[in-house]
Chain A
Amino acid sequence: DGGITQSPKYLFRKEGQNVTLSCEQNLNHDAMYWYRQDPGQGLRLIYYSQIVNDFQKGDIAEGYSVSREKKESFPLTVTSAQKNPTAFYLCASRIVWAGLLDQPQHFGDGTRLSIL
C-alpha cells in the first residue's frame, strides 16, 4: 500500500543533542512538508520541499534543518538550538500537477518528541 511512514513513533532528546525524524513516502509525490503540533494548537509549518535538492523555511524553521536528497525522503533534524522541541511532528506530501495547488495532502502517523 502507498503511504507515508514516519519513524520513530516516540523519540527522546537529551540536552544539547541533535535528533533526526524520518519521513519516507512511496506515493511518488513531489512536495513534502513538516508540521509541528502543540497541545491545543493547530499545526504549524516548519519546512517544505517542492522538488529534490530544494527546500524552503516555513513559519517556525528556527532550530530545525532538513534535506531532500531523494524524492521519497525528507528527514527533519531537531537541533540543540531548538529550546522547546517537545511536540508532535507530522510529515505530509502531495502531488504537484501542472503547478496546481488543489491536490490533497496525505499525512504520516507522526513522531512524538520529548526531552529527557
Chain B
Amino acid sequence: KQEVTQIPAALSVPEGENLVLNCSFTDSAIYNLQWFRQDPGKGLTSLLLIQSSQREQTSGRLNASLDKSSGRSTLYIAASQPGDSATYLCAVVGSQGNLIFGKGTKLSVKP
C-alpha cells in the first residue's frame, strides 16, 4: 500500500531564505506527483505536477524534483516571502486516479 511521508512537519524561517521541503513515497510505480499549497480554512491550490517521466518542474520561485528510484521528491522555494506561509502537501496518484497525500509541512516565513 502506497504511503506518503513529508518531513519536516513544520518549518519556520526568516524572510529571504531558500528552503527545501521533502516528500517520500513507498511505491516507486507512480504516474505523477503533485505539490499543493493550502491556506488555513481553504481548499488546495496546485503548485506543480511532475509526470513520472520527468525529473523536475519549475514555476517562478518554486522548483520540484522527482527521483522515482529512491521514492523522493523535494520542493525548493527560493527567496522565501511571508506570503509563502501555508501548509504544503505532496500527493501521488493511486490506482483509481485518486491522490494519496502526505500530512503536509506547515511553513511559516517570518518578516
Q: State which size class the interface on B falls in.
A: 20 to 34
**B46 / chain A contacts, CB cutoff of 8 Å:** 104-107
How many contacts between A and B, using CB within 8 angstroms? 69
Footprint of A on B, CB under 8 Å? 4, 31-32, 34, 36, 41-46, 49, 51-52, 89, 91, 93-99, 101-104
Q: How distant is the Cα of A15 from the Cα of B1 in the complex, in angstroms?
A: 35
Determine if A42 and B43 form an interchain contact, defined as CB atoms under 8 angstroms apart: no
**B89 / chain A contacts, CB cutoff of 8 Å:** 42-43
Interface string of A41-80 (1 = CB under 8 A from B): 1111100101000001010000000000000000000000
Footprint of B on A, CB under 8 Å? 6, 31, 33, 35, 40-45, 48, 50, 56, 58, 88, 90, 92, 94, 96, 100-110, 112
